[in-house]
Amino acid sequence: MALGYVTFITMATVCIGVTATCALCVRSSALPRTIAELEDRGRSIAPYLGVTLLVLLVKRWTHYRRLELSYALDWDITAEIYAVEGTFVAGLQSIVPDSLIGFFSAMYMFGFPYLLVSALVLYFLLATQRRFKQLLIAYALNTLAGSVFYTLFVAYGPRNHLSTVSGLMYEFYPQTQELTAEVSANTNVFPSLHTSLAVIVAIFAWRSRREYPRWFPIASVVAALVVFSTMYLGIHWLVDVVAGVVLGVWCVLTAERLVARAESEPVSASDGRETGLTTEMND
């Protein structure tokens, strides 16, 4: 019952957020144009969408087997992470008012999927599908890299390792634990994929600020809050977040090159044309 309820609330909240974002950021002509070109766009993105869905399905199908392999390898790096940063997360929890637990829990549970879905919808509505393709591949790369790290390394979050750190979201909203357990394990900590995916969306928002000037401030603020929430709620270490930022940047850069190669276009030329860098240099 709890799982179904939380899933429904999450989906409803994301749908409302995406609709509001489109109303704020997208021109009225974009939807009719997209509908008219739907078949052509579908053919264009089909290979990229297929690859991304396949990666997600394989990740889901192999979840428990990878978890078993991870425990068998038993490369626990929790102590090493703690040795690097110490009680940073405990200090963070001590200075942030408890009244914000609900807000940051909402950002973690709802703000994160809102970012991922909103970005996909916005870039699908653009006249060119290049950003949409790049975003799909960046998501796929992030999933692959995260699966490898989570299989190789066992790492427990601050709430599981330190008595001075509380799992605030699970204490405040215990029903959310059932949903998160369906897609992750408490050893899936290094790196923070909430961080890496939020960074991916923020970078794309920055690069598409000419097409969607209102999207960038929205995405950057929500991404920052999602990243902060992962630490404040005791789920991730600061080290996990730093690693997540690096992973997110790598995914974007690699996705650009892979899509450019698949489309037989130079990376520099396509990036310059889409971000407006060439125009800015010539002005």
> According to the model, what pLDDT value does residue 166 have?
73
Partners of 76 in beta bridges: 154
Q: pLDDT value at position 263?
A: 84
What are the tens digits of pLDDT across the range 115-144? 999 999 999 999 899 999 999 999 999 999
SS3 of residue 177 by DSSP: helix
42-77 pLDDT per residue, tens: 999 999 999 999 999 999 899 889 888 988 998 999
d(CA 272, CA 165): 46
Which residue, 83, 271, 63, is CA-closest to 183? Answer: 63
Residue stretches of the chain with pLDDT short of 70: 1-3, 167-185, 265-283
Closest of 112, 202, 107, 189 to residue 153, by C-alpha = 189
- Length of the chain equals 283
According to the model, what pLDDT value does residue 74 have?
A: 87
Cβ proximity of 154 and 187 under 8 Å: yes
What pLDDT was estimated at residue 77? 94
pTM, rounded to two decimals:
0.88
Query: Where do the domains of the chain lie?
Result: 1-264
